[in-house]
Structure 1
Amino acid sequence: MPKAYVFTRYGGPETEALVDVDRPAPGPGQLLVAVRVAGVNPVDWKLRTGYRRPGETGEREFPAVLGNEVSGVVEEIGEGVSGFAVGDEVFGNTAAGGYAEYALLPAAVTAHKPAALSFADAATLPVAAATAYDGVRQLALPAGATLLITGAGGGVGAAAAQIARAFGLRVVGVASEGKREFVQSLGAVHVPSGPDLAPRVRAVAPAGVDGVFDLVGGEVLAEAAGLLTDRTKLITAGAPEPTVADLGGARVARARTAAVLDAVAELVVKGDLDPHVTRTFPLERADEALRAIEEGHALGKIVIEVAR
């Protein structure tokens, strides 16, 4: 039987297990994909604790497979799906988990993998890079404007910095001192994280910032908001909608389309976006991959290699 890494109830790491599962069958509008690589993201462990995405309803069925993005090869095609064939190399968001040998993908949020894009890089794009792309596009800042990114050392932050640079923006990235060199390698000006953020940002951006892409929330979001004259240029993927709305901003509006996946894949192929896959784990060590993200010290992206 195929293997999958699951959580058996809401809670901590003690709820996780590598188990045998039935091979899933694609429903209408779905693809069954033999997974090559699965991306690892903070939302994975948050969902395990009982977190619900904005607008998400319904009860989760257990055991629930962890993971939200994969790359792989199409094995079966569900009813009503066009534009894909068995054997196609693809990547996209999962319908019911991705830390597994097989995953179901909604065809609407699945894209063909360019030959020049590795399976590992492709698996990192549907969550972090697509969120970053949606956010930078949402801000719609003109070339030459200055964008402040909080949490610039993580998966979304690193992608956002590079995408913003590709769009002609100046980027100021907030991250820990230990991530200084990494943030600078993205083409951003590094500002150390910590209390009293605003003066440190003003020291490197005396004219102020034109937009804020927040990935941290809390006091960091509040301080960053104070650096803006136009609060409509404040977006967050790190705080709830009511919190950012009180500050005059908004959550990142996710497009969740194959067109966005095509766009970020093209940026990688062109050399404008490096997903920075820093660590790779086999499926049997999925727990280690998730702990690295949950502890909050990962640089760039971590992936799980399911099959070669």
Structure 2
Amino acid sequence: MRAAVVRTFGGPEAVEVVEAEVPEPRAREVRIKVAASALNPVDAGTRSGAFGGAGKQVGLGWDVAGTVDAVGVATAWNVGDEVVALDYGMTKPVGAHAEYVVVPTDAVALAPATADAVHAATLPLNALTAAQGLDLLEPAPGRSLLVTGAAGAVGGYVVQLAAHQGVSVTALAREGDEEFVRSLGAAHFASGGVAPAGFDAVFDAAVLGERALEWVRDGGAYVGVIPQAQPAPVRGVRTSAVEVAADGARLAELVRLVDEGVLTLRVAETYSLEEAVKAHVRQAEGGVRGRLVIVP
């Protein structure tokens, strides 16, 4: 099978499409024939060597939408099931940017009934990050939440999930994104990298760090999206960072919200697997609204 990998670290040019063995599922694993897989910032980090793996082949891709085509023992999934999954791992030899991928059975959920595979592939990593980050903040209905990078893939899901929970959301984004983030459920809008202070919580999807921490009220809460890189606590503010985990049951809840129209799946552009370098170049250029998706 074909897979996008890096064997030397660097920019987009470091990405290679190579031949690899089709993986076989073991106990409590399933193999998915990949229909689509989103490209995420974590893939750029992997490509550049931020997570290690020097001297090894490192696979790219965490998101997968496709069809179960082989199962190991002790799994409830069946060949032919249309699914989505998070293929978690920083330095795996082959990732989800491939024709086939093997994942743990408890990382899998049925695919949305209302979306095609390309759109479904944008859900697992970003929506799980949003949901698990909100768990750390523990926002309550009526409380105030500032979301930085609210028009981005993670930030957009945070806005929708929090608004669905009855939280008063202020979206911090570019001026031209106001109409969009309000359509996601933001009650208030801020731009120019400046927001008022006094929020009960901040979800810092834009990685502003200490600047975003200043906008949290004394005794509030802050969550970032880079594990173990959150700013130090001040003024009694509880700080943390979400480290996403594969969770098929939670992913199934998010799929349900997609089918109910609560969550919006956004695709910016699609690329073939052979065009993986072009996809990485486009991501590096910035300004992408939605996710770039690779189709094997």
> TM over 0.5, yes or no?
yes
**Aligned partner of 1:244: which letter?**
P
**Aligned partners of 1:230, 1:166: CA distance in 2, in Å?**
26
Secondary structure of 2:8's partner? coil
Output the amino acid matched with 2:158. Answer: A
How far off is 1:61 after superposition? 6.9
Contact 1:235–1:244, Cα closer than 8 Å, also in 2:
no
Q: Aligned partners of 1:88, 1:170: CA distance in 2, in Å?
A: 38
Higher helix share: 1
**Equivalence for 1:32:** 31
Shift of 1:223: 2.1
Shift of 1:130: 0.7
Three-state SS of the structure 1 residue aligned to 2:9 is: coil
Residues 153-302 of structure 1 aligned to structure 2 (within 5 Å): 153-188=151-186, 189-194=188-193, 197=194, 201-202=195-196, 208-217=198-207, 220-238=208-226, 240-241=227-228, 243-247=230-234, 248-252=238-242, 254-302=244-292
- The alpha-carbon deviation at position 60 of structure 1 amounts to 6.5
For residues 55-77 of structure 1, the C-alpha deviation after alignment (integer angstroms, 9 at most, x for no partner) is xxx84674322111101111111
Deviates most, 173-182 or 36-45: 173-182
| Unpaired runs of at least 5, structure 2 | 89-93
Q: Structure 1 pair 230/135, CA: closer, same or farther in 2 (3 Å)? A: farther
TM-score normalized with structure 2 length: 0.88
1:232-286 Cα deviation digits (max 9, x unpaired): 5111104x52542445401125453111101110110000110222222222222
SS of the residue 1:22 aligns to: coil
Q: How far apart, CA to CA, are the structure 2 residues paired with 1:258 and 1:33?
A: 14
Contact in 2 for aligned 1:69/1:124 (Cα 8 Å): yes
**Matched positions, count:** 287
Partners of 2:150 and 2:175 in 1: CA distance: 12
Matches for 1:52-91 after TM superposition, within 5 Å: 52=51, 59=53, 62-78=56-72, 80-91=73-84
RMSD: 2.2
Task: For 1:21, give the aligned amino acid.
Answer: A
CA distance change for structure 1 residues 235 and 17 in 2, over 3 Å: closer, same or farther?
Answer: same
Find the aligned partners of 2:171 and 2:28 in 1 and give their Cα distance: 39
Distance 2:77 2:160 in 1: 30
Shift of 1:289: 2.3
Checking the alignment, whether the CA contact within 8 Å between 2:124 and 2:251 is kept in structure 1 is yes
- Flag the 1:146–1:223 CA change in 2: closer, same or farther, 3 A: same
SS of equivalent to 1:229: strand
- Per the TM alignment, residue 37 of structure 1 is displaced from its structure 2 partner at its CA by 0.7
Q: Which stretches of structure 1, 4 residues or longer, exceed 6 Å deviation after superposition?
A: none
**3-state DSSP of counterpart to 2:209:** helix
Deviation at 1:150, TM superposition (A): 1.0
* Displacement of 1:138: 2.4
Q: Distance in 1 between matches of 2:37 and 2:55?
A: 21
Residues in 2 aligned to 1:47 and 1:8: alpha-carbon distance in whole angstroms: 11
Indicate how the Cα distance of structure 1 residues 224 and 98 shifts in structure 2: closer, same or farther if over 3 A, else same. same
CA distance in 2, matches of 1:29, 1:22: 20
> How far is the alpha carbon of 1:89 from its aligned partner?
0.9
The alpha-carbon distance between structure 1 residues 191 and 127, as it changes in their structure 2 partners (threshold 3 A), is: same
Over 3 Å counting, the alpha-carbon distance change for 1:69 and 1:60 in structure 2 is: farther
Cα deviation, residue 84, structure 1: 0.6
- After TM superposition, the structure 1 stretch with the greater mean CA deviation from structure 2, 93-102 or 123-132, is 93-102
1:42 corresponds to 2:30 = no
Structure 1 counterpart of 2:86, from 79, 86, 93: 93
Q: TM-score, normalised by structure 1?
A: 0.85
